[in-house]
Structure 1
């Protein structure tokens, strides 16, 4: 049986689980994700949760069933995050910003597109989810698989950079 969820599993427990279950876990993840790199990342996440005690196996009838359920849930979360990124973050600037007949607004729109392109992808993702998708930081942290504080920090850093990029345009207008 697995160790205490509060303190995490011992190295010996983790080795045993790895030896007994990792092949089944890998195959299950690969069937769901169809991407070896993503499956390896998912396995690492699962074993990290086990090591840190962030999961509570409770009274298990089947350790393998529990571990496969962890893989299933992790894969579904990853697929949802990837879909949100494809649907919302990887939009072209033309899909996010509509052209304007007003020359000043159009100039600002083009500058904003260029400024967003200059942000690191992880910051651009947060800004688009926050401003254009109107997601909360809690939702963003779940979508991106990051902590709430990381989401808020990336947003703050991105806004600071955007202000710097856009200040000359704003002052010119």
Structure 2
């Protein structure tokens, strides 16, 4: 089944019209669902947690779309902000059950090596381990910039951080990843 590709303007119009809101929501999820999943997955690491966060993100989008006061150009940033917040919520819940952040890193590293054999190549595993060692804000800035190829201005809208802070977080993340890879390669 072919998925219709709508512009953000078309999606926005459909979501704001009560007659086409449901169709617009389905189209929005069809267009952004995969990207949201991977954005969330890179933050929470585990597939099950990512699926849960995607579900919660979808629910929050549906519940709050009428309250969205932005324009079509801000729609993607708004959606990614919800997804980022849901991802952070998953991490907060997880850390309440673990004794320290170091334990969280160990659990997530174990998930990486056992969850999907296709992802367990040595280089990919090392890269993912390096990402797990990053502080949360650096990891989010890195993921949005590197994987999602977002401009800093859009990342600022999503995270609520200043562009300068995001650039610093991104560059520190890159340096830490490089160091980790050199050290463990």
TM surpasses 0.5: no
Choose 1 or 2 for highest CA Rg: 1
Q: By percentage of residues, which structure has more helix? A: 2
